[in-house]
Amino acid sequence: MSAVPVGPRGDAGPGLPAGVCPVCGGPVDDVVARCPDCGCDLAGVPPRPPAFSRPAVVATVAAFVAVYAVIVAAVALVN
Ligand SMILES: [Zn+2]
Protein backbone atom coordinates (compact mmCIF):
# COMPACT_ATOMS: atom_id res chain seq x y z
CA MET A 1 0.00 0.00 0.00
CA SER A 2 1.41 3.32 -1.05
CA ALA A 3 1.02 6.48 1.02
CA VAL A 4 2.28 8.69 -1.81
CA PRO A 5 -0.27 11.41 -2.71
CA VAL A 6 -1.41 11.38 -6.32
CA GLY A 7 -3.38 14.01 -8.25
CA PRO A 8 -7.09 13.55 -9.00
CA ARG A 9 -6.31 11.98 -12.36
CA GLY A 10 -3.00 10.51 -11.28
CA ASP A 11 -1.13 12.61 -13.81
CA ALA A 12 1.73 15.05 -13.49
CA GLY A 13 0.76 18.44 -12.13
CA PRO A 14 0.70 20.55 -8.99
CA GLY A 15 -0.07 17.46 -6.93
CA LEU A 16 2.96 15.64 -8.25
CA PRO A 17 4.26 13.22 -5.63
CA ALA A 18 7.76 13.81 -4.33
CA GLY A 19 10.40 11.19 -4.89
CA VAL A 20 8.52 9.38 -7.65
CA CYS A 21 9.21 9.53 -11.39
CA PRO A 22 6.09 10.83 -13.21
CA VAL A 23 6.86 8.64 -16.22
CA CYS A 24 7.87 5.24 -14.90
CA GLY A 25 6.81 5.67 -11.27
CA GLY A 26 10.20 4.57 -10.01
CA PRO A 27 11.79 6.08 -6.91
CA VAL A 28 14.03 9.09 -7.58
CA ASP A 29 16.39 10.95 -5.30
CA ASP A 30 15.52 14.57 -4.49
CA VAL A 31 18.84 15.82 -5.82
CA VAL A 32 18.97 14.11 -9.22
CA ALA A 33 17.75 16.00 -12.30
CA ARG A 34 16.89 12.88 -14.31
CA CYS A 35 15.26 9.57 -13.51
CA PRO A 36 17.94 6.86 -13.25
CA ASP A 37 15.51 4.29 -14.69
CA CYS A 38 13.95 5.97 -17.74
CA GLY A 39 16.04 9.16 -18.05
CA CYS A 40 12.98 11.40 -17.74
CA ASP A 41 13.76 15.05 -16.95
CA LEU A 42 12.47 15.56 -13.42
CA ALA A 43 12.10 19.35 -13.53
CA GLY A 44 8.90 20.24 -11.69
CA VAL A 45 8.96 17.16 -9.50
CA PRO A 46 9.09 18.37 -5.88
CA PRO A 47 11.28 19.82 -4.48
CA ARG A 48 12.70 20.89 -7.84
CA PRO A 49 11.54 24.13 -9.47
CA PRO A 50 9.18 23.90 -12.47
CA ALA A 51 10.79 23.57 -15.88
CA PHE A 52 9.24 26.84 -17.01
CA SER A 53 8.90 29.47 -14.32
CA ARG A 54 6.63 32.43 -15.03
CA PRO A 55 9.49 35.00 -15.23
CA ALA A 56 11.34 32.75 -17.68
CA VAL A 57 8.29 32.50 -19.95
CA VAL A 58 7.71 36.27 -19.78
CA ALA A 59 11.38 36.95 -20.57
CA THR A 60 11.32 34.54 -23.52
CA VAL A 61 8.16 36.08 -24.99
CA ALA A 62 9.58 39.59 -24.46
CA ALA A 63 12.80 38.58 -26.24
CA PHE A 64 10.87 37.22 -29.24
CA VAL A 65 8.77 40.39 -29.40
CA ALA A 66 11.94 42.51 -29.23
CA VAL A 67 13.56 40.56 -32.09
CA TYR A 68 10.33 40.85 -34.11
CA ALA A 69 10.23 44.62 -33.52
CA VAL A 70 13.86 45.00 -34.64
CA ILE A 71 13.18 43.01 -37.84
CA VAL A 72 10.03 44.99 -38.60
CA ALA A 73 11.94 48.25 -38.02
CA ALA A 74 14.81 47.12 -40.27
CA VAL A 75 12.41 46.15 -43.06
CA ALA A 76 10.54 49.46 -42.69
CA LEU A 77 13.82 51.38 -42.98
CA VAL A 78 14.93 49.47 -46.10
CA ASN A 79 11.64 49.88 -47.91
ZN1 LIG B 1 11.49 7.20 -14.68
Residues 2 and 19 in one domain: yes
Mean pLDDT along residues 21-36 = 90
For residue 67, how far is the Cα from the chain centroid?
24
C-alpha of residue 55 to centroid of ligand 1, in Å? 28
pLDDT reported for residue 30: 86
Give the model's confidence band at 7: pLDDT under 50 very low, under 70 low, under 90 confident, else very high.
very low
Q: Average pLDDT over the chain, rounded to whole?
A: 82
Domain limits at 77? Answer: 52-79
Residues 38 and 1 in one domain: yes
C-alpha of residue 60 to centroid of ligand 1, in Å? 29
DSSP the chain: -------TTSSSSTTPPTTB-TTT--B--TT-SB-TTT--B-TTSTTSPPSS-HHHHHHHHHHHHHHHHHHHHHHHHH-
Mean pLDDT along residues 45-59 = 83
Q: Which residue has the higher pLDDT, 16 or 61?
A: 61
Inform me whether the pLDDT recorded for 56 exceeds 80: yes
C-alpha of residue 73 to centroid of ligand 1, in Å? 47
Residues 58 and 43 in one domain: no
Residues 17 and 41 in one domain: yes
pLDDT reported for residue 46: 77
C-alpha of residue 68 to centroid of ligand 1, in Å? 39
Residues 44 and 57 in one domain: no
Residues 39 and 75 in one domain: no
pLDDT reported for residue 62: 97
Residues 10 and 38 in one domain: yes
Number of domains in the chain: 2
Residues 43 and 63 in one domain: no
Residues 34 and 10 in one domain: yes
